[in-house]
A = this chain, B = another copy of it.
Amino acid sequence: MKNNTLKEIATELLKAESVLLFPHVNMDGDTLGSCVALCKGLRKLSKKAYVLIDEDVPLYLNFLVKDYCVRDMSKIKNPDVCVAIDSGEVSRFIKRKEEFFAGKKTMAIDHHVSTDPVFDFNYIDPKASATAMIIYYLFKEMKVEMDKEIGEALWAGITTDTGNFQYSNTTKETHLVVSELYDLGIDHNKISINIYENVRKEKVMMINKIMDTLTIFAKGKGALCYGTLEMLKETGATPDETEGVVESIRSIAGVEVAAFLREDDEKEIKVSMRSKSYANVAEIALRFNGGGHKNAAGCTINSTLDFAMKMLINEIEITLNNE
Q: How many copies, total? A: 2
Judge whether A170 is part of the interface by a CB distance below 8 angstroms.
yes
Task: Give the CA-CA distance A196 to B253 in the complex, in Å.
Answer: 9
Judge whether A101 is part of the interface by a CB distance below 8 angstroms.
no
A109 to chain B, nearest CB (A): 24
Judge whether A198 is part of the interface by a CB distance below 8 angstroms.
yes
Q: Mark A183-225, 1 if CB is under 8 A from B, else 0.
A: 1000011001100111111001100100110101000100000
* B164–A197 CB distance below 8 A: no
A218 to chain B, nearest CB (A): 14
**Interface size, chain A (Cβ < 8 Å):** 45
Judge whether A159 is part of the interface by a CB distance below 8 angstroms.
yes
User: Which of B166, B199, B212 is close to A253, meaning CB atoms less than 8 Å apart?
Assistant: B199
Residues from chain B with Cβ under 8 Å of A164 in the complex: 164-166
Given contacts A192-B166, A196-B166, A205-B214, contact A179 B182 (CB under 8 A): no
* B214–A211 CB distance below 8 A: no
The closest CB in chain B to the CB of A188 belongs to: B170
The closest CB in chain B to the CB of A171 belongs to: B182
* B182–A250 CB distance below 8 A: no
User: Which of B180, B212, B220, B252 is close to A199, meaning CB atoms less than 8 Å apart?
Assistant: B252
* B159–A200 CB distance below 8 A: no
Judge whether A251 is part of the interface by a CB distance below 8 angstroms.
yes
A136-178 contacts to B (CB < 8 Å):
159, 164-168, 170-173, 175-176, 178
Judge whether A294 is part of the interface by a CB distance below 8 angstroms.
no
